[in-house]
Amino acid sequence: MANSLITRDYVKILDQEDPLQNFKDEFYQEGFYYMDGNSLGLLSRRSENTLASSLQDWKQHAIEGWTEGNEPWFYMSEKIGAMTAPLIGAKPEEVINTGSITSNLHQLFATFYKPEGKRTKVLADTLNFPSDIYAIKSQIHWHGLDPNDHLIQVHSEDGYTLDEDKIIEKMNEDIAILLLPSVLYRSGQLLDMEKITKAAHHYGIIVGFDLAHSIGALPHRLSEWGVDFAVWCTYKYLNSGPGGVGGLYVNERHLGNSPGLAGWFSSDKNKQFDMSHDLTPAESAGAFQLGTPHILSSAPLIGSLELFSEAGIENVREKSLRLTRLLMDLIQQELSGYGFKIANPSKDDRRGGHVCLIHEEAASICKALKQEAVIPDFRSPNVIRLAPIAFYTSYEDVYEVVLLLKDIVKNEKQKQFKNERDIIA
């Protein structure tokens, strides 16, 4: 429709033909247009039910809920790992539901970052989410090294995207480990993980990715590509709820080894309650767990992952691409001349699940959108992120959001707000 006028009648037809349209009714969304699912996904009725089921197990079985509940807690992390594996192209034993992105990064760096000789450096980038860099720097300090000398960060030429060839140019035999985002949190650029992994392995570099902004939005083939490890949160596209337990992937060639940081649930489950002071690590990614699983923060994910199983991640990705394409086309159609710039890649194979809009009044525009019952996301200093989620955003929702955005800037409704972020952007 790039050369034709996009009308409400047209987007209604898209909704009528949408094979995922019925999933919208699975989610709680009334009275607002939600465009921030790349920060926190909405609650589904299915997740509400699986959380209620674990509460009922606690109520009915007490301590026996660990093994006798409807969803036994002792095996829940492994079950969720197996349910997650198809979304990232992994084997069930390579995936576990545990920790958070940062705690899992510390675990995996403690396991795989072993600086010795001249191979002491970490390769990252300047656009990654700050907490990943915090973790990397602290790991470098832990080994008695200086991040100023041992952290190599690839710079962006435009401030929003990365060039894979520039990343590869930084690779050499001084690099011990690499960590990059699969999708850049600000611009939504999707990196070529396969290309990066292949190049890094040529130099003997351990490869890790942060999948926070790709898991649940698009399919991956981590095992096929040979990625060494990956981490993610589950409260964005996976809709597990605020603070939902994260996850990690470790390629099968690394399984069976002791984790860098050992803990109670690192153990082989058949030996865990032998109470030996010598750890027998699990033969699966379960070895990289630490403490007791957070059951009530994990249970909602079971319901959400059931929806992914029913919808199919390929179908989710296809609709996501169509939604973001429609959003970009409508921005060009309706908002030309109002100071907006689309900063995310336009090609489908280079774009994640959200659209990155640049505007000098981005913060105040986001506040005005909220006043109009549209929930966007602001990222300092000038980014508006809009994420139409395949499960619960209709094509007509996208159309309506752009019209509301046009009304705001046309009538300067943003002027009533300060152009600065709130405490949480």
57 marked as part of a ligand binding site: no
- Measured at the CA of 146, the angle between CA 142 and CA 148, to 5 degrees, comes to 135
Query: Measured between alpha carbons, how far is 67 from 65 in angstroms, rounded to an integer?
Result: 5
Reply yes or no: is the peptide bond before residue 376 cis, omega within 30 of 0. no
102 marked as part of a ligand binding site: yes
For 312, left (φ over 0), alpha (ψ -120 to 50), or beta?
Answer: left
264 marked as part of a ligand binding site: yes
Contact between 132 and 233 (Cβ < 8 Å): no
202 marked as part of a ligand binding site: no
Query: Measured between alpha carbons, how far is 40 from 235 in angstroms, rounded to an integer?
Result: 5
Tokens for 52, please give them: 């209620």
Query: Measured between alpha carbons, how far is 350 from 136 in angstroms, rounded to an integer?
Result: 26
378 marked as part of a ligand binding site: no
Query: Measured between alpha carbons, how far is 54 from 18 in angstroms, rounded to an integer?
Result: 33
Query: Measured between alpha carbons, how far is 363 from 342 in angstroms, rounded to an integer?
Result: 16
Contact between 325 and 386 (Cβ < 8 Å): no
Tokens for 164, please give them: 């894979």
67 marked as part of a ligand binding site: no
Beta bridge partners of 231: 210, 248
Tokens for 189, please give them: 């650029």
Query: How many Cα atoms are found within 13 Å in the side-chain-facing hemisphere of 267?
Result: 18
Tokens for 127, please give them: 């656009």
Number of C-beta neighbours around residue 325 at 10 A: 17
Strand pairing report for 206-210 and 229-232: parallel
Query: Measured between alpha carbons, how far is 99 from 105 in angstroms, rounded to an integer?
Result: 10
Query: Measured between alpha carbons, how far is 326 from 393 in angstroms, rounded to an integer?
Result: 12
Query: Measured between alpha carbons, how far is 425 from 362 in angstroms, rounded to an integer?
Result: 11
101 marked as part of a ligand binding site: yes
210 marked as part of a ligand binding site: yes
213 marked as part of a ligand binding site: yes
| Helix H or strand E encompassing 200 | helix 193-202
Annotated binding residues for pyridoxal 5'-phosphate: 101-102, 129-132, 210, 213, 235, 264, 292
Annotated binding residues: 101-102, 129-132, 210, 213, 235, 264, 292
